[in-house]
Amino acid sequence: MYKIYFEKPVHVHFIGIGGISMSGLAKVLLKEGFTVSGSDNKRSPLTEQLEEAGAAVFYGQKASNIIDGIDVVVYTAAIHADNEEYQAAVKKGLSMLTRAQLLGQLMTNYDIPIAVAGTHGKTTTTSMLTHILLAADTDPTVSVGGILNAIGGNIRVGNSEIFVTEACEYTNSFLEFFPKISIILNIDEDHLDFFKDLEDIRRSFRRFAELLPSDGCLIINGDIERLNGLTDGLSCKVVTYGTGSALDYSAANISHNELGNASFDFIKKGNFMSRITLSVNGEHNVSNALAALAAADLLGIPVCEASEGLKKFRGTKRRFEYKGEVNGITIIDDYAHHPTEIKASLMAARHYPHREIWCVFQPHTFTRTKALFHEFVEALSYTDHIILADIYAARETDTLGISSADIAEELCKTGADAYYLPSFEKIEAFCMEKCKKGDMLITMGAGDVVNIGDSLLEA
C-alpha cells in the first residue's frame, strides 16, 4: 500500500474531492505542504474553500483530470471501476488509495491517533471530545463527519500529536485505521446491505478493537451486550463506561433543565469527580459525554477543563438542531435514521419545551427500512404525531416491496396518529394546517428531509 509521509509531500489527487470527509482530508494535506488536485460533479462551498487553500479542482469526472505529476489517487466508495477518471488513473499505473486507506495513513503521522467508532453517536462524541481538547489548549487535528461551529467546519488542522477522527464501520472501512486510542460507543444492527447480521457487525468491531497496539487503549461502553466477546484477549488496556457502578466511568444523579439539557455526577471508579453540565439534551448524550470524559482523563486533561469544554458544546448541524420558529412552532432538525437513534431523539424531545410533538420522518434506504421495519414502528411511537415522507433511496434502486405508507399503516394499527404524504409540498401544507402555537416540529432522517423545515421557515 502507498504510504503517506508528512516529511515527504507529494501530489495527491481526489476523485470526489467535494465530499465532507474527502475535503477534510485534502485540507490536512494542503496544510502539510502537499500538492492537491481533485474533481467533483459540481461546485460547492467545500470545493471553493479548497480552491482558496490552493487545490486545483476540476468539475465533472473526466479522464483529462488525471494530469501529469500525480503520485497517488484517492477515491470514495461511490466511485466504481467504470468511472472514466478512475479508469484513466489505473491506465497510467498510478498508486490508488480508498478514502479509508488515506485516513489510516494520515493517522500514522501522529503519536496519539484517536478513533471514535459505534453505530450511533460518532459525530457528537467526536465533537464533544474536540471541545474538551480545545478547552485544554491541546491544539488537535480533527476530522468530524458534520459541521462543527467550534472549528468552522468539518476539519481542524492543529500542530500537536493528537489526531481525532470518526471511524465508520460501513464496508469495514475502519479496519484500515491505525489508532492508539479507540472508542466504541455502541453496536447495533445496521448497514445490512453490507453486513449479514448483528453477529457479523460484532465481528467487525472485534477486529477494530484488535487493531490497537499493546500500549494502546480501548474505551468501550460497558452496557454493550456480551461485552467479553469484544474485549477478552485484547493486548491493549480496556476502559469501560456506562450506567453500571462497577464500570470505570459512570454517571449518577442525572437531571434536566427547562430546555432538557442534562447534568450529572461524573464518577470514576466509584469516586465523585465533578458535576457535569451539558448544553445538549437527551440521556444518550450523557453516555456520549462519558466516552469523551474517559478519553480526556486518559490524556491527562483535568476534569475542570473537560467540564468547561463540554458545557460549550451546543451540538453539530443536523443533531437535534434548533432551526427557528414559524407561527409559534419550534422547528428542530435531526439526522436520526436508525430506530435506536430515533427513539433516543424523541425521548430527548420530551424534555424540551413543547405543547405537542410532530415528527416528519424520512426513512433512509429500502434495505434498512425492510430489515428493521418493526423496530421503526416501535421507535416512531414515542411522539404525539408522525408524518412519513417517501423513503430516501440513497445508493439503492430496488424498493424491496417496502414503502413509507407501510410504516404509517402499521403505526395506525397500534393507535398512533400517523400519516403518509407523497411529497414535501403536501407535508409542508399539512404541517402548517395541523401544528399549533407551542408545538415542536422535528424533521428527521439522513436524507433531504431537512428541506421541509427550511422551506417552512422561509415561507
Q: Is the pLDDT of residue 188 over 80?
A: yes
Nearest to 332 by CA among 456, 231, 175: 456
> Is residue 122 among the annotated active site residues?
yes
Q: What is the pLDDT of residues 85-101, one digit of tens each?
A: 999 999 999 999 999 99
Q: What is the pLDDT of residues 7-23, one digit of tens each?
A: 999 999 999 999 888 99
pLDDT computed for residue 126 by the predictor: 96
- Name the phi and psi angles at 137, rounded to 5: 55, 40
Percent pLDDT > 90 in the chain is 82
Q: What is the pLDDT of residues 348-403, one digit of tens each?
A: 888 888 899 999 999 999 999 999 999 999 999 999 999 999 999 988 899 999 99
The larger pLDDT score, comparing residue 24 to residue 207, is at: 207
- With bands split at pLDDT 50, 70 and 90, how would you rate the model's confidence at 319? confident
Q: Is the pLDDT of residue 283 over 90?
A: no
The pLDDT of 110-125, averaged and rounded, is 95
CB 174 within 8 A of CB 98: no
Q: Is the pLDDT of residue 3 over 90?
A: yes
β-strand pairing of 321-326 with 329-334? antiparallel
Nearest to 335 by CA among 454, 445, 448: 445
> Is residue 396 among the annotated active site residues?
no
Element (H, E) at 147: strand 141-148
Per annotation, catalytic residue among 47, 85, 122, 316? 122
- With bands split at pLDDT 50, 70 and 90, how would you rate the model's confidence at 190? confident
Per annotation, catalytic residue among 85, 166, 169, 189? 166
> Is residue 123 among the annotated active site residues?
yes
- With bands split at pLDDT 50, 70 and 90, how would you rate the model's confidence at 170? confident
The larger pLDDT score, comparing residue 45 to residue 351, is at: 45
The larger pLDDT score, comparing residue 272 to residue 320, is at: 272
Query: In sequence order, which residues have a C-beta less than 8 Å from that of residue 366 and are 6 or more positions away?
Result: 391, 393, 396, 398, 399, 400, 402
pLDDT computed for residue 306 by the predictor: 98
Cα separation, 409 vs 328, in Å, equals: 30
Per annotation, catalytic residue among 47, 119, 123, 367? 123
pLDDT computed for residue 257 by the predictor: 87
The pLDDT of 100-110, averaged and rounded, is 95
- With bands split at pLDDT 50, 70 and 90, how would you rate the model's confidence at 287? very high
Cα separation, 317 vs 149, in Å, equals: 9
pLDDT computed for residue 318 by the predictor: 77
Q: How many CB atoms lie within 10 A of CB 353?
A: 10
329-334: strand order across its sheet = 321-326, 329-334, 440-444, 357-361, 385-388, 417-420
Cα separation, 66 vs 64, in Å, equals: 5
141-153 burial by CB neighbour count: b if 16+ within 10 A, else e?
Answer: bbbbbbbbebbeb
DSSP string for residues in 250-276: EEEEEEE-TT-EEEEEEEETTEEEEEE
- With bands split at pLDDT 50, 70 and 90, how would you rate the model's confidence at 347? confident
- With bands split at pLDDT 50, 70 and 90, how would you rate the model's confidence at 408? very high
As a whole number, the mean pLDDT across the chain is: 94
pLDDT computed for residue 326 by the predictor: 92
Q: Is the pLDDT of residue 38 over 80?
A: yes
pLDDT computed for residue 160 by the predictor: 96
Q: Cite the DSSP H helix spans in 210-326.
A: 228-231, 283-298, 303-312
Q: Is the pLDDT of residue 305 over 80?
A: yes
CB 144 within 8 A of CB 316: yes
CA–chain centroid gap for 112, Å, is 21
CA–chain centroid gap for 333, Å, is 15
pLDDT computed for residue 125 by the predictor: 97
CB 426 within 8 A of CB 398: no
The Cα angle at residue 100 between residues 99 and 106, in degrees rounded to 5 = 90
Q: Is the pLDDT of residue 315 over 80?
A: no
Q: Is the pLDDT of residue 316 over 80?
A: no
- With bands split at pLDDT 50, 70 and 90, how would you rate the model's confidence at 282? confident
- The torsion defined by the Cα of 404, 408, 410 and 411, in degrees rounded to 10, comes to 140
Q: Is the pLDDT of residue 430 over 80?
A: yes
